[in-house]
Structure formats: structure tokens, C-alpha cells
């Protein structure tokens, strides 16, 4: 799962990777996290989503409101099969864009549209 997320997130402009909390790989834009995955098994991963997607996703089996981050509309995927790869790409792009939209305008311009 780590490689899949790296492959998807690495294609977005200005994405950086950082290890936080000892064992979590964070994907960031403008130093703000938009996706995080556990490096060690089990490879749970979390990302930000829209209010509509938050509600729909958390009704699914193996997807829960992300601990400590749910109030900011983050979900945690406990089993990768809960989301198909094409849908995952769309959800991660949405997460990236939601976080990017909160960055200062100058930073957004540097990242491109």
C-alpha cells in the first residue's frame, strides 16, 4: 500500500514526503499533510476529504473517522480493498486540492493550477 500511495501522491505538483511520529509516512503540499500511511504493517492510511465524501466513506466497512483528525474531515482506511484504485486516485487528488486551497495564494501560484 505504501508504494501505491507513493505512486499516486508523487504525481501531484510540489508533494514532499516526511516521516512523522516515528513510523508514519506523510505526503505534504506546502508543508501541510494531505495523506498519511503507516510504514509498518498494518498499512492503515488516512486522508482529508469533502464533507460529502466523509459521510459516504465512513458508512463503509473498514473506513472510519480518523482518530484525532475526524473533526477536520479525515478518514482512516483500515483495509485497502475498501477503496478501489481509481476511486483512491480521485480521493487523494481531492485531499491534495483541499489542503492546497488553504495555502497562501503565493504558495498556490508557485505550485500551479
Q: pLDDT for 35-46, tens place per residue?
A: 999 998 888 999
- pLDDT of 34 higher than 90: yes
Give the DSSP H or E segment for 4: helix 2-9
| pLDDT tens per residue, range 55-91 | 999 999 999 999 989 999 999 999 989 999 999 999 9
Confidence (pLDDT) at 48:
98
Q: Domains in the chain, ordered, with CATH?
A: 2-108 (3.90.1150.30)
Tell me the β-bridge partners of 47: 35, 75
Amino acid at each position: 500500500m505504501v508504494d501505491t500511495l507513493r505512486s499516486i501522491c508523487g504525481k501531484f505538483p510540489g508533494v514532499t514526503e516526511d516521516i512523522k511520529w516515528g513510523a508514519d509516512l506523510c505526503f505534504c503540499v506546502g508543508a501541510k499533510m494531505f495523506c498519511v500511511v503507516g510504514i509498518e504493517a498494518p498499512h492503515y492510511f488516512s486522508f482529508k476529504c469533502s464533507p460529502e465524501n466523509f459521510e459516504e466513506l465512513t458508512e463503509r466497512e473498514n473506513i472510519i473517522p480518523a482518530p484525532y483528525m475526524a473533526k477536520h474531515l479525515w478518514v482512516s482506511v483500515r483495509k485497502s480493498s475498501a477503496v478501489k484504485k481509481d476511486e483512491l486516485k480521485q480521493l487523494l487528488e481531492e485531499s491534495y486540492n483541499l489542503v492546497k486551497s488553504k495555502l497562501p495564494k503565493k504558495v498556490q501560484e508557485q505550485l500551479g493550477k
